[in-house]
């Protein structure tokens, strides 16, 4: 049996995390890691105590809003945002960490990643947000496109 690399290992865990997503359009998982230890996890879904899109439907879908546009009309918090917020909620520093995302981060998540001090992103898939990639490069964030399928 061949052991997975660390990136493979943590990306596979991010895929398990995304199974908790309550988004009807896209299931995303994220985990934040430093020194080969998981610090925080997140998936996309409604904030605590609010009804989930699984229960009441998707406003963006009802309005015909394309992926990557009008983030403010989404009921859910993104997986990356949830992972960052959960770390803060639990008093865990994520400075100089890596975030593993099952989808490339949007511009809103990219700004939070930069300000949180995360310095490496391992991501899969594409997201229709060119601005995100540009600001991450400008900030000097190391970005690794992960191509292995699970």
Binding residues for Zn(2+) are 78, 106, 109
Strand order in 120-123's β-sheet? 37-43, 29-34, 98-101, 120-123, 142-145
Q: Rounded to an integer, what distance in angstroms lies between the CA atom of residue 54 and that of residue 58?
A: 8
Is 80 a known active-site residue? yes
Do residues 41 and 29 lie in contact, with contact meaning Cβ atoms separated by under 8 Å? Answer: yes
d(CA 113, CA 116): 5
CA distances for 73 relative to 50, 56, 63, 67, 144, angstroms = 15, 14, 9, 11, 29
Residues of each annotated binding site: 78, 106, 109
Residue of 8, 12, 80, 138 marked active site: 80
**Residues designated catalytic:** 80
């Amino acid at each position: 049996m061949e052991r997975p690399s660390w990136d493979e290992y943590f990306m596979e865990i991010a895929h398990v995390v995304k199974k908790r997503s309550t988004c009807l359009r896209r299931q995303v998982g994220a985990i934040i890691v430093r020194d080969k230890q998981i610090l925080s996890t997140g998936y996309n879904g409604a904030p605590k105590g609010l009804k989930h899109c699984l229960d009441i439907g998707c406003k963006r879908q009802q309005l015909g809003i394309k992926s990557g546009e009008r983030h403010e009309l989404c009921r859910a918090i993104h997986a990356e945002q949830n992972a960052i917020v959960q770390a803060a909620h639990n008093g865990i520093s994520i400075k100089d960490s890596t975030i593993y995302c099952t989808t490339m981060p949007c511009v809103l998540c990219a700004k939070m990643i930069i300000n949180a001090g995360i310095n490496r992103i391992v991501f899969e898939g594409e997201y229709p947000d060119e601005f995100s990639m540009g600001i991450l490069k400008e900030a000097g964030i190391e970005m690794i496109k992960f191509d292995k399928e699970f």
